[in-house]
């Protein structure tokens, strides 16, 4: 795969700047690839191509767009081993997690969008009018580094199925897997200009997309501060925006008569520790009943031993490195802050010098107060805050006492858990061991974002309504 070109208007071409951004393997510190440092000229070329392609693509019957997406999915699946390999190298996520969550789950997502797209309510008859949903137009997709395939699929597949054209700017830290997607679109026979790939920095390519007059919508996933900055720029030309942002998600364990908390602890740990905690929906605040504190703490320490850290190519390892030196230093600073604020370490702690790879052990703080920095800020690392609550009212109050509202979980007797879930200010709440549903809407309350991804709701984000008043003579 040639990573040193951009994919614009159906062609692989050099970047206008002639400059490159190196891609680091966080497990070794090796710079092993480079991609073009795109700029406003590249974005302009992509936007013009996407705009030219838009009329024919949006007029194409949905069945024909679905047929092309089916071909894409077949090719996408054939790339599995390459995608696993490149994701491990650019992100450092371990083999088992990469295979299951970073790669194979994206086939499930793509299939879900294909199957649900005919069910999207594109025409709605009213008493005196008919409302139609039409494509928004050219979509600028800005995606993060932590799920380099997943966050891309969540945007480009529904956008294309709904008749929009796309310009993708993947993260500069994990851009390589997107090249395989571009290759799959090309091999599937998508018309030129429908999908365009422009790599580069957010301050250059992201800004250019936000400002460009031919871009109709910005779909952004990343930090809340980054989303606010992008949203402000996009709104200067009154673009549509959707923002999937940060989280500080609570996981409430209700008291158990048998004092066995192994299942909810594993569910919480899988959320906060796998992918080295670099997940926006991670259950980073574990809320436990005050009277069960000692019992649960012992189980936390014992179960944490299962979450091994090491070489991400090792099929038995559960945590690889964090994604970069910058991420390593940020997480280390938060661990130190937690110690300084008086939280007590149950396991883990400050990592040593990253002489080879940016590895951080699963770290659990207890005796955490919800007003501590580590309980309020999105650390985005394998750091869990354990907070006790007195009763259900107190648990709900603590759960909601953050500026985010992306995800949450409640574990306990089902009816009681559901009642508590209804009171939590979050866009998604998991009850006990319920699995994720690709057809469900995904998105947050409060500072966790604007809009929804996933299923029919995610596809509706890429449409706009037109009412025809057609009952007269």
Q: In whole angstroms, what is the distance from residue 364 CA to residue 385 CA?
A: 6
User: Does residue 442 lie in a domain region?
Assistant: no
- Alpha-carbon Rg for the chain, nearest whole angstrom, is 23
Residues 297, 212 share a domain: no
Q: Which of 90, 244, 297, 378 is catalytic?
A: 244
State how beta strands 344-347 and 363-366 pair. antiparallel
- Residue 96 contacts residue 270 (beta carbons within 8 Å): no
User: Does residue 1 lie in a domain region?
Assistant: no
Residues 134, 36 share a domain: yes
Name residue, tokens 């710079």: 31
Q: Packing angle between helix 62-78 and helix 177-188, nearest 10 degrees?
A: 130
Residues 239, 118 share a domain: yes
User: Does residue 206 lie in a domain region?
Assistant: yes
Q: In whole angstroms, what is the distance from residue 256 CA to residue 1 CA?
A: 53
Give me 461's structure tokens. Answer: 């984000």
Residues 271, 383 share a domain: yes
User: Does residue 255 lie in a domain region?
Assistant: yes
- Residue 405 contacts residue 425 (beta carbons within 8 Å): yes
Residues of the domain holding 374:
249-437
269: Cβ contacts below 8 Å, ≥ 6 apart: 303, 304, 306, 307, 362, 384
Residues 394, 453 share a domain: no
362: Cβ contacts below 8 Å, ≥ 6 apart: 269, 273, 304, 307, 309, 319, 347, 348, 382, 384
User: Does residue 343 lie in a domain region?
Assistant: yes
User: Does residue 443 lie in a domain region?
Assistant: no
Give me 362's structure tokens. Answer: 């699963």
Q: In whole angstroms, what is the distance from residue 396 CA to residue 376 CA?
A: 15
The C-alpha angle with vertex 250 and arms to 330 and 382, in degrees rounded to 5, equals: 30
CATH code, domain with 181: 3.40.605.10
Residue 470, pLDDT score: 82
Name residue, tokens 């998508």: 190
Residues 344, 459 share a domain: no
- Residue 208 contacts residue 236 (beta carbons within 8 Å): no
State how beta strands 30-36 and 20-25 pair. antiparallel
Residues 263, 236 share a domain: no
Give me 303's structure tokens. Answer: 């179960």
Name residue, tokens 């994701």: 87
The C-alpha angle with vertex 57 and arms to 51 and 58, in degrees rounded to 5, equals: 90
85: Cβ contacts below 8 Å, ≥ 6 apart: none
Q: In whole angstroms, what is the distance from residue 142 CA to residue 175 CA?
A: 11
Q: In whole angstroms, what is the distance from residue 340 CA to residue 18 CA?
A: 46
Residues 223, 87 share a domain: yes
User: Does residue 367 lie in a domain region?
Assistant: yes
User: Does residue 473 lie in a domain region?
Assistant: no
Q: Catalytic annotation on 104? A: no
Residues 231, 215 share a domain: yes
Residues 253, 146 share a domain: no
Name residue, tokens 């009763």: 391
> What does residue 428 show for φ and ψ, rounded to 5 degrees?
-135, 135
Name residue, tokens 């019992």: 295
Residues 92, 38 share a domain: yes
CATH code, domain with 425: 3.40.309.10
Task: Give the CA dihedral 80, 160, 436, 86, nearest 10 degrees.
Answer: 30
Q: Which of 280, 447, 453, 461 is catalytic?
A: 280
Q: Catalytic annotation on 385? A: no
In angstroms, how far is CA 97 from the centroid of its own chain? Answer: 15
Q: How many domains does the chain have?
A: 2
- Enter the pTM of the model: 0.96
Residues 217, 95 share a domain: yes
- Tens of pLDDT along the chain (473 residues)? 999 999 999 999 999 999 999 999 999 999 999 999 999 999 999 999 999 999 999 999 999 999 999 999 999 999 999 999 999 999 999 999 999 999 999 999 999 999 999 999 999 999 999 999 999 999 999 999 999 999 999 999 999 999 999 999 999 999 999 999 999 999 999 999 999 999 999 999 999 999 999 999 999 999 999 999 999 999 999 999 999 999 999 999 999 999 999 999 999 999 999 999 999 999 999 999 999 999 999 999 999 999 999 999 999 999 999 999 999 999 999 999 999 999 999 999 999 988 889 999 999 999 999 999 999 999 999 999 999 999 999 999 999 999 999 999 999 999 999 999 999 999 999 999 999 999 999 999 999 999 999 999 999 999 999 999 987 65
- Residue 138 contacts residue 164 (beta carbons within 8 Å): yes
434: Cβ contacts below 8 Å, ≥ 6 apart: none
Q: In whole angstroms, what is the distance from residue 443 CA to residue 460 CA?
A: 14
């Amino acid at each position: 795969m040639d990573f040193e070109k951009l994919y614009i208007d159906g062609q692989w071409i050099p970047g206008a700047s002639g400059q490159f951004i190196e891609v680091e393997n966080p497990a070794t510190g090796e710079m092993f690839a480079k991609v073009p440092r795109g700029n406003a000229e590249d974005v302009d070329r992509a936007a013009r191509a996407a705009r030219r392609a838009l009329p024919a693509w949006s007029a194409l019957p949905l069945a024909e767009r679905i047929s092309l997406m089916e071909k894409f999915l077949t090719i996408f699946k054939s790339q599995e081993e390459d995608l696993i390999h490149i994701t491990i190298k650019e992100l450092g996520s371990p083999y088992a997690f990469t295979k299951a969550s970073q790669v194979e789950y994206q086939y499930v997502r793509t299939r879900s969008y294909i199957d649900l797209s005919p069910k999207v309510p594109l025409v709605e008859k009213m008493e005196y009018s008919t409302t139609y949903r039409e494509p928004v137009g050219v979509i600028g997709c800005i995606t993060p580094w932590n799920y380099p395939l997943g966050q891309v699929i969540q945007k480009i597949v529904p956008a294309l199925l709904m008749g929009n054209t796309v310009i993708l700017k993947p993260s500069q830290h994990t851009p390589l897997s997107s090249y395989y997607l571009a290759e799959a679109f090309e091999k599937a026979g998508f018309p030129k200009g429908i999908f365009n790939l422009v790599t580069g920095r957010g301050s250059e390519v992201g800004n250019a997309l936000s400002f460009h007059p031919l871009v109709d919508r910005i779909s952004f996933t990343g930090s809340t501060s980054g989303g606010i900055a992008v949203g402000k720029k996009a709104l200067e030309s009154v673009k549509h925006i959707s923002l999937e942002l940060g989280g500080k998600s609570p996981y409430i364990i209700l008291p158990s008569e048998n004092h066995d908390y192994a299942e909810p602890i594993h569910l919480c740990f899988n959320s906060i520790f796998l992918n080295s905690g670099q997940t926006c929906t991670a259950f980073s605040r574990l809320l436990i009943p005050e009277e069960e504190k000692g019992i649960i703490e012992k189980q936390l320490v014992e179960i944490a031993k299962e979450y091994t850290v090491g070489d991400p190519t090792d099929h038995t390892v559960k945590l690889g490195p964090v994604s970069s030196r910058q991420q390593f230093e940020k997480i280390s600073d938060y661990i130190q802050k937690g110690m300084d604020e008086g939280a007590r370490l149950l396991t883990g702690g400050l990592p040593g010098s990253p002489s080879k790879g940016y590895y951080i052990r699963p770290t659990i703080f207890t005796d955490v107060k919800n007003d501590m920095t580590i309980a309020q800020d999105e650390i985005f690392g394998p750091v869990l805050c354990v907070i006790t609550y007195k009763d259900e009212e107190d648990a709900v109050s603590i759960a909601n006492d953050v500026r985010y509202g992306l995800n949450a979980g409640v574990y306990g007797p089902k009816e009681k858990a559901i009642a508590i879930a209804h009171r939590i200010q979050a866009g998604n709440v998991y009850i006990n061991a319920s699995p994720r549903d690709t057809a469900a809407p995904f998105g947050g309350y409060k500072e966790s974002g604007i809009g929804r991804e996933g299923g029919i709701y995610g596809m509706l984000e890429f449409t706009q309504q037109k009412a025809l008043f057609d009952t007269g003579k």
